[in-house]
Amino acid sequence: MENPDLTLELTADEMRRLVAQVMEHLVAHIESLPRQPAVALEGGAEAARRFVEPLPEQGQPYSTLLPLLFEQAIPTSFNTAGPGYLAYIPGGGLFHTAVADLITDAVNRYMGLWVAAPALAQIEATVIRWFCDLVGYPASARGLLTTGGSLANFSAVVTARRDRLPENFLVGTMYVSDQTHHSIQKAALLAGFPPANVRAIPVDSQFRVQVDALEQRMIADRQAGFRPFLIVGNAGTTNTGAVDDLPALATIAQREGAWFHADAAYGGCFLFTAQGRTAMRGIELADSITLDPHKGLFLSYGTGSLLVKDGAALKRAHQVTAAYLPSVEDDPEVVDFANMSPELSREFRGLRVWLPFKMHGAPPFRRNLEEKLALTRWATAELRTISGIEIVAEPQLSIVAFRLTRPGLGPEALNRLNQELLQRINARKRVYLSSTFLNGNFVIRICILSFRTHLDRVQMCLEDIRAVVEALSPA
Amino acid sequence: MENPDLTLELTADEMRRLVAQVMEHLVAHIESLPRQPAVALEGGAEAARRFVEPLPEQGQPYSTLLPLLFEQAIPTSFNTAGPGYLAYIPGGGLFHTAVADLITDAVNRYMGLWVAAPALAQIEATVIRWFCDLVGYPASARGLLTTGGSLANFSAVVTARRDRLPENFLVGTMYVSDQTHHSIQKAALLAGFPPANVRAIPVDSQFRVQVDALEQRMIADRQAGFRPFLIVGNAGTTNTGAVDDLPALATIAQREGAWFHADAAYGGCFLFTAQGRTAMRGIELADSITLDPHKGLFLSYGTGSLLVKDGAALKRAHQVTAAYLPSVEDDPEVVDFANMSPELSREFRGLRVWLPFKMHGAPPFRRNLEEKLALTRWATAELRTISGIEIVAEPQLSIVAFRLTRPGLGPEALNRLNQELLQRINARKRVYLSSTFLNGNFVIRICILSFRTHLDRVQMCLEDIRAVVEALSPA
């Protein structure tokens, strides 16, 4: 027991050398991002198989491990960090996030209960307050940083359930549009609701929920003995960036006694822009809002947030106590995140948001977001000039959905044509686009959200679309 | 739109300088850990208030931000990373975790769906397989890395609910001991169960659930129309490290058709030792197991895990699909974590576990864990030599609970005496201990789990206990 050579604590020199070598790889990786393919999946299964092995008995120098990661594992992927990633919802990857986690993990403090690290808990509370100010929430609001939108939406559903339904809640019904993110469906499932209790209401031509249909369904459900308790409004859908009529939904929720949750996981950060504030007018009327910093604030994956207007409701839905925990005070300055979230032990996420805002201030975030909106308008205007391209969803934020049409082709042939178009655009590897189905049709999406995506890359995107459309044209 | 100065992308030089400066702070911090106080909460509220501010418009050089963090925010805390932290469940803080997250965040790949980064998804799957091998699970087992034990226990409850109960599940009852971690109670709450459906069964003199009482309660509940569907066995309680009779619980679960979950969040990693394997005999009989690498594998906060023997059950409980997601294959080599967990976007956690095991191999982890067990036995033997000290809970793993007794003092006076004892030990700041209530009595716990805690620090702990007990002795 006399301090045997346990070798898990690195010496100062070892720490410095390890980080120096990692930094060589990282700097080279980040600097080469513009030249890296937007997607590189060839040999993915083989690359993966190299990492199938039993627990190692022998250690290995990191000078061999790091190349394995940086040359084999990381490049075989959707290049979610690069400027050409215009698929799904781009995730950014600000280097500041990495630095914040380097600090957070190495000092390894616990901030889930205020008493254990008050200033670190306050950093997270301050970040939450910034977001509450952004959405226009009062001082009573509270919130959490989560790992992403899914757990934020889950805590919103749980909070709404606790606030609006009796203990026997299975008669509770919730209202979403058919464009709502499936994490709401998953949240309902996890929270115990039968899948059928989630009512998917059709959308209008702009992919916004049909407010009248939603209200009629709620009334009919109530008359049939259900308890409509939650409306989820979209503040930027994943498919097209559509923003529902938030004030109208707020009015219905108020009238029906339902909780109103706004899913702004993708769209919320555009509240930093004038266009976004106009598009999401009324978002402050929501009882809770999901907003993902790892989307519109360009952070690395692992930072979502939930904001709740009546902070006490969040706490009531999540708090349980235990004899072995420090006692919790009722001081309004004190924020015990463990008592308003599903998590007790978890990483400290506040520094990821705090550090880049403190280093740069808000203006570059705003300008970046304005640029993404402008780039999307530009791309849409360019798409219109390509013969045969139909804009299926006009951009409301930074997503445009389109497809190639051709007279005389039926729906299935058109779908196949557009699959071929997408496959060939992506095969050029300068940009990576994804698809979805709108009104039953296969459509291609461009989503511009990375802080690394600028006009030059969107120009490449349009060049590639144009070239492939031309190549696909009948002779 | 011509690439304005958006300033969020750091240049190679800026990245290197920022990390170099962070490393100066981190190395100094980690090197000074043995000399830092085990707890330093004076001025916490003032330190916190310095971080209350609106969203900054102006950036600030990190040369001023880093000292603010390292001199004001971080030191005002429970020193959870230091060798003297013997409170609650120590969390470790291997520097490798920080390096893994530096890489993970900077390259920012998405691995929730296999297709997006097969080799990174495989790294996480491999780590899960290591844990499955550790607990003795078959090839059909699957699992997840979570942010901690709370979300692991939550997914276990949801999986058990889906597997063993009908859609209308509110008649379902679950069985825990009165020593079970409150995250099970929270998981039940989040999953929609009325709090009363969690039956807390009394424990025996070694704080292990009374198996007969548990079985009788299940039978009585079934006869009363409830559906007993889940038994949670403790493989190392938070209070005392008690391990329930896992084989007996497995037998009852089998007989009653209930899911058997083992909460080994704290204890599970001791399966790396012979003593741990003996103590947790039968753990492989559990249908699911929570095991936290950020506890017994010394990682930084943010890495828990859930292992499920029938991997398909985990998936059935969590999977929903969406039009905008890549299609999912049925290839058994392919692991889509998003389809078996509550999370869609989240950080890549696999590298945190993979990197230290690949760098060192398993042996130093085993030796460290054996050392912690030996230190706990040593501390217990020493405690026995202190006049008036009563061992309230013999160590089953690396926790010992004790209190000072004094003839003639009633229960309340004894509690006050022990509160005073704890407060004075902690005031010496060489170690930080926590308390709990056992059989209604206030007791002091020593939990030895950090890779930084060795014999010298446990000696200091005993010196301080001895000195304070002496000072508290009646003249």
With vertex at residue B366, the alpha carbon angle to CA B362 and CA B372, rounded to the nearest 5 degrees, is 150
**DSSP of B234-269:** EBS-TTT--B--HHHHHHHHHHHT-EEEEE-TTTGG
- The C-alpha atoms of residue A395 and residue A373 are separated, in whole angstroms, by 9
Question: In A222-339, at which residue ranges do the beta strands (DSSP E only) sit?
Answer: 227-234, 259-263, 288-290, 304-308
Of A244, A270, A301, the C-alpha closest to A398 is: A270
Of B434, B412, B413, the C-alpha closest to B423 is: B434
Q: What pLDDT score was predicted for residue A326?
A: 67
Residue A290: phi and psi, rounded to 5, are -95, 135
Question: In which residue are the tokens 């007990």 written?
Answer: B469
Taking only residues 17 to 76 of chain A, the set having a beta carbon closer than 8 angstroms to any beta carbon of chain B reads: 18-19, 22-23, 25-27, 29-31, 41, 44-45, 47-62, 65, 69, 72-74, 76
Q: What pLDDT score was predicted for residue B1?
A: 47
Rounded to the nearest integer, the mean pLDDT of chain A is: 95
- Non-local (6+) Cβ contacts of A288 within 8 A are A156, A159, A160, A259, A260, A261, A262, A306, A307, A308, A309, A314
pLDDT tops 70 at residue A280: yes
Q: What pLDDT score was predicted for residue A322?
A: 67
User: Are the CB atoms for B332 and A136 separated by under 8 Å?
Assistant: no
Adjacency order of strands within the sheet including A441-447 = A389-393, A399-404, A441-447, A434-438
Contact B98 A106 (CB under 8 A): yes
Residues of chain A found within 8 Å of residue B53, distances taken between Cβ atoms:
126
Q: What pLDDT score was predicted for residue A329?
A: 56
Q: What pLDDT score was predicted for residue B16?
A: 98
Taking only residues 161 to 180 of chain B, the set having a beta carbon closer than 8 angstroms to any beta carbon of chain A reads: 161, 167-170
Q: Which residue of A has its CA nearest to B371?
A: A1
* DSSP state letter for B55: P
Mean pLDDT of B49-68: 97
Of A56, A187, A296, the C-alpha closest to B354 is: A56
A381-424 residue pLDDT tens: 999 999 999 999 999 999 999 999 999 999 999 999 999 999 99
Residues of chain B found within 8 Å of residue A23, distances taken between Cβ atoms:
15-16, 19
B164 DSSP β-pair partners: none
| Higher-pLDDT residue of A31, A324 | A31
A150-167 residue pLDDT tens: 999 999 999 999 999 999
Question: In B120-164, at which residue ranges do the beta strands (DSSP E only) sit?
Answer: 142-146
Burial group, residue A277, by CB count within 10 angstroms (0-12, 13-18, 19+): middle
Burial group, residue B403, by CB count within 10 angstroms (0-12, 13-18, 19+): buried
Write out the H or E segment, with its range, that includes residue B232.
Answer: strand B227-234
- The C-alpha atoms of residue B396 and residue B384 are separated, in whole angstroms, by 16
Mean pLDDT of A48-72: 96
pLDDT tops 80 at residue A56: yes
pLDDT tops 70 at residue B471: yes
**DSSP of A348-413:** --HHHHHHHHHHH-SHHHHHHHHHHHHHHHHHHHHHHTSTTEEEEE--SSSEEEEEE--TT--HHH
Contact A76 B119 (CB under 8 A): yes
pLDDT tops 80 at residue A4: no
pLDDT tops 50 at residue B160: yes
A215-240 residue pLDDT tens: 999 999 999 999 999 999 999 999 99
State the smallest CA–CA distance between residue A475 and chain B in angstroms. Answer: 32
- Choose the mutation target among B1, B2, B108 for the interface with A, i.e. most A CBs under 10 Å: B108
Tokens, residue B423: 């407060």
A310-356 residue pLDDT tens: 999 999 999 887 666 666 556 777 889 999 999 998 999 999 999 99
- Choose the mutation target among B3, B126, B171, B324 for the interface with A, i.e. most A CBs under 10 Å: B324
- Choose the mutation target among A102, A113, A300, A453 for the interface with B, i.e. most B CBs under 10 Å: A102
Rounded to the nearest integer, the mean pLDDT of chain B is: 95
Of A247, A281, A287, A253, the C-alpha closest to A267 is: A281
- Note whether B99 contacts A: Cβ–Cβ < 8 A: yes
Say how many CB pairs under 8 Å bridge A and B.
505
Of B113, B342, B344, B315, the C-alpha closest to A238 is: B344
Q: What pLDDT score was predicted for residue B2?
A: 46
Tokens, residue A31: 């600097």
B22-40 residue pLDDT tens: 999 999 999 999 999 999 9
- The C-alpha atoms of residue A273 and residue A369 are separated, in whole angstroms, by 7
- The C-alpha atoms of residue B203 and residue B392 are separated, in whole angstroms, by 14
| Higher-pLDDT residue of B323, B140 | B140
Residues of chain B found within 8 Å of residue A325, distances taken between Cβ atoms:
88, 182
3-state secondary structure of A165: coil
Q: Which residue of A has its CA nearest to B71?
A: A119
Predicted confidence band of residue B331 (pLDDT cuts 50, 70, 90):
confident
CA atoms within 13 A on the CB side of B23: 20
Taking only residues 193 to 252 of chain B, the set having a beta carbon closer than 8 angstroms to any beta carbon of chain A reads: 193-194, 238-239
Of B358, B349, B370, the C-alpha closest to B271 is: B370
- Alpha carbon distance, N-terminus to C-terminus of chain B: 81
Q: What pLDDT score was predicted for residue B400?
A: 98
User: Are the CB atoms for B45 and A95 separated by under 8 Å?
Assistant: no
Q: What percent of chain A has pLDDT over 90?
A: 93
Q: What pLDDT score was predicted for residue B325?
A: 65
Mean pLDDT of B155-165: 98
Tokens, residue A335: 């924020």
